[in-house]
Chain A
Amino acid sequence: MNESLTSKFIEIQNVEQTFKTRKGPFQALQDINLTIAKGEFVALIGHSGCGKSTLLNLIAGLTMPTLGTLLCANREIAGPGPERAVVFQNHSLLPWLTCFENVYLGVERVFGAASKSTGAPAEKKAQLMARTDAALALVGLTPAAQKRPGEISGGMKQRVGIARALAMEPKVLLMDEPFGALDALTRAKLQDELLEIVARTQSTVVMVTHDVDEAVLLSDKIVMMTNGPAATIGEVLSVDLPRPRRRVELADSTQYLGYRKAVIDFLYTRQAHVEKAA
């Protein structure tokens, strides 16, 4: 029982998603079947408009599937919740709160009241503040804690978003192109930090990306999606690169280049011509 929970932490069964539009129903996803193990890092990759964010929103519980079921820890996903924390593409920090207050908002909600499921008692304010400080320290933002999002750089904002998600100690960390809006150098730095944090926290992560290198560098499993409409999972690639991974060493690794080639081959040879298909 415990073992099946570990290997099938998230289960997606025959999921189909159809949106109502003015031109009639639009089928975004069909026949999605996927299992994600506890502690696994999964990347969802595909061309834009292939429904990878739609799939992430389904796991987050922000939208409900038209057909099929999604399970997390053997429970049906009925709505969004802090156990499945989301790092949004555009950081979505509240601009009128300081970085500390942004993180504290989630911490307070999760740990500020007695937990019904685990029976943990409500924590005191000092404990909640310590958790918030720890989360900010984890992403290296202790000096910026009292700044507002408007006063810090894009990379720092995204780090606060990650800290906010991690501070809630989620079962699953869902990331929707978290580094998409950043420049290449900042992105590389945050990827390295994420690798380190995930190694330390043993988090289960589902990340949407369109960056091949990012997917290969970070994930255990790359889920490649076909082009929409009615997109589905085209192929799942297991990445068996040893951890800890270092980008400089991997740059010459034939194994790494092989995985990279496989993803590029899928995206640009077999799933090319997005515009024509759409």
Chain B
Amino acid sequence: MVSAVFHSPLSASAESLAIKKEAASAYFTGATGTNDAKIPVTTPAGKPSFDGRGLVLVVLPPVLGLVLLIGIWALVSISTSSSIPSPWETWKQALTIFADPFYRKGPNDQGVGWNVLASLERVAVGFGLAAAVGIPAGFVIGRFDFLGRMFNPLISLLRPVSPLAWLPIGLLVFKGANPAAIWTIFICSIWPMIINTAVGVQRVPQDYMNVARVLNLSEWKIFTKILFPAVLPYMLTGVRLAVGTAWLVIVAAEMLTGGVGIGFWVWDEWNNLNVKNIIIAIFVIGIVGLILEYLLIKIATAFTFEEVKS
């Protein structure tokens, strides 16, 4: 649910790419499912014009999309008589900001680089804790029917709650803004990991378990050779959703808790009425999210294998 919001057009195209890769039955190493796959490779090297057309088809649509976005932005800027700054002014401002992203002038005035790193650190800690708890929990819930039926109602009840609703509880328990923000990240990223891992365990093909029974494998071998590799793709999907959600939530959480972080930075710039910086922050958040998503998709495809057709 929350994660669905994360699917910006760019990340959505990245995702469809990944799906295409899997569908192309290029299960491991040899996956070359990039956009180049659309270009007919049969063209001899002596015909550069054809290759050029392929390149245009690959590059043109995203560029047009970007042009459209900037065009609308410029129109809005003009129609609001520049209370929304124009793309050009924002670009100039961005150049000055990124000329020195890592400066420190006191606790509340630090470069955008420090703010992004602070947010990433919170996400990493919260997400890491959630993975440490959620993935084993998912295995247990998926493997043992009784526990599954015990915890499923709880998960169904708690999962739809906005993670920000947990922030006051975190502030109360941990008596600090930073741990409370990490706690919020923990809560929002634990659900996708529990659920996806549990589903993965339940979907391990019965054939594999029969193999384990016929070979009379030990529990440890079953876990390392069958269960874990079979669940890994599901688990990584959970991780991807969790990181996406965490990156969404951290901005909101930091607006509430303050300190150093990209969310706080946005809020601070709003208080300074510096709209250019807010727009820059939006792009920074988007680009960081995109990079996170891309890296995790790369990892996931490396661990996706052909399933047995049954």
Residues of chain A touching chain B, judged by Cβ–Cβ distance below 8 Å, are 60, 62, 79-82, 84-86, 88, 90-97, 105-106, 109, 148-150, 168
Determine whether B214 belongs to the interface, using a CB cutoff of 8 Å to chain A: yes
Given the complex of chains A and B, what is the CA–CA distance between A79 and B211 in angstroms? 13
Residue from A81, A86, A94, A105 having most chain B Cβ neighbours under 10 A: A94
Q: Which residues of A contact B218 (CB under 8 A)?
A: 109
Q: Is the interface of A mostly helix, strand, loop or mixed?
A: loop
Q: A62-B213, A95-B305, A168-B215 are known contacts; what are 9 more A-B pairs with Cβ within 8 Å?
A: A62-B210, A82-B215, A90-B207, A90-B310, A92-B205, A94-B229, A95-B27, A109-B221, A150-B28
Q: Which residue of A lies closest to B211 (CB)?
A: A92
Asked whether B216 lies within 8 Å of A97 as measured between CB atoms, the reply is: no
Nearest B residue (CB) for A101: B225
Given contacts A90-B207, A150-B28, contact A96 B305 (CB under 8 A): yes
- Taken together as a complex, chains A and B put the C-alpha atoms of A90 and B306 apart, in Å, by 13
Contact B210 A106 (CB under 8 A): no
Interface pair B306/A95, CB less than 8 Å apart: yes
Question: B199-212: contact bitstring with A at CB < 8 Å (1 yes, 0 no)?
Answer: 00000010110110
Judge whether B307 is part of the interface by a CB distance below 8 angstroms.
yes
With a CB–CB cut-off of 8 A, which chain A residues contact B210? 62, 80, 86, 88, 92
Asked whether any CB of chain A lies closer than 8 Å to the CB of B308, the reply is: yes
Contacts of A84 in B (CB 8 A): 214
Q: Which residue of the partner chain, among A86, A106, A149, A168, contacts B306 with CB atoms under 8 Å?
A: A149
CB contacts (< 8 Å) of A109 on chain B: these are 215-218, 221
Residue on B nearest A157 in the bound complex, by CB: B308
Is B226 an interface position by the 8 A CB rule?
Answer: yes
Given known contacts A96-B229, A105-B221, A90 and B308 CB-to-CB distance under 8 angstroms: yes
A19 to chain B, nearest CB (A): 15
Bound-state CA distance A86–B229 (Å) is: 22
CB distance from A18 to the nearest CB of B (A): 20
Instruction: Pick from A79, A106, A149, A150: contact of B215, CB below 8 A.
Output: A106
Can you name 15 A-B pairs with beta carbons within 8 Å?
A82-B215, A88-B207, A90-B309, A90-B310, A94-B225, A94-B226, A95-B27, A96-B229, A105-B215, A109-B216, A109-B221, A149-B306, A150-B25, A150-B28, A150-B305
Nearest CB of B to A101, in Å: 8
A-contacting residues, B205-244, CB 8 Å: 205, 207-208, 210-211, 213-218, 221, 225-226, 229
Q: Which residues of B contact A97 (CB under 8 A)?
A: 225
| CB-CB nearest in chain B for A108 | B221
A97 to B205, CA, bound (A): 16
In the bound assembly, the distance between CA atoms of A109 and B219 in angstroms comes to 12
Contacts of B213 in A (CB 8 A): 62, 79-80
Chain A residues with CB below 8 A from B217, complex form: 105, 109
CB-nearest residue of chain A relative to B210? Answer: A62
What are the residues of chain B within 8 A of A95 when measuring CB–CB?
A: 27, 305-308
Which residues of A have CB within 8 Å of B225? 94, 97, 105
A94 to B215, CA, bound (A): 13
Give the residues in chain B near A106, CB-CB below 8 Å: 215
A88 near B211 (CB under 8 angstroms)?
A: yes
B207 / chain A contacts, CB cutoff of 8 Å: 88, 90, 92
* Partner pick for B208 among A79, A82, A92, A149, CB 8 A cutoff: A92
**Least Cβ distance of A115 to chain B in Å?**
12
Inter-chain contact A81/B305, CB cutoff 8 Å: no
Whether A150 pairs with B214 at a CB distance below 8 angstroms is no
Residue of A nearest to B232 (CB): A96
In the complex, what distance in Å separates the CA atom of A91 from the CA atom of B207?
A: 9
- Bound together, the chains give a CA A12 to CA B216 distance in angstroms of 23
Inter-subunit contact A82/B308 (CB<8 Å): no
Cα distance, A110 to B217, chains bound together (Å): 10
Give CA–CA (A138, B18) in the complex, Å.
39
Interchain CA distance A95-B232 in the complex, whole Å:
13
Residues in B whose Cβ lies below 8 Å from that of A85: 214
State in angstroms the CA–CA spacing of A131 and B214 once bound together: 19
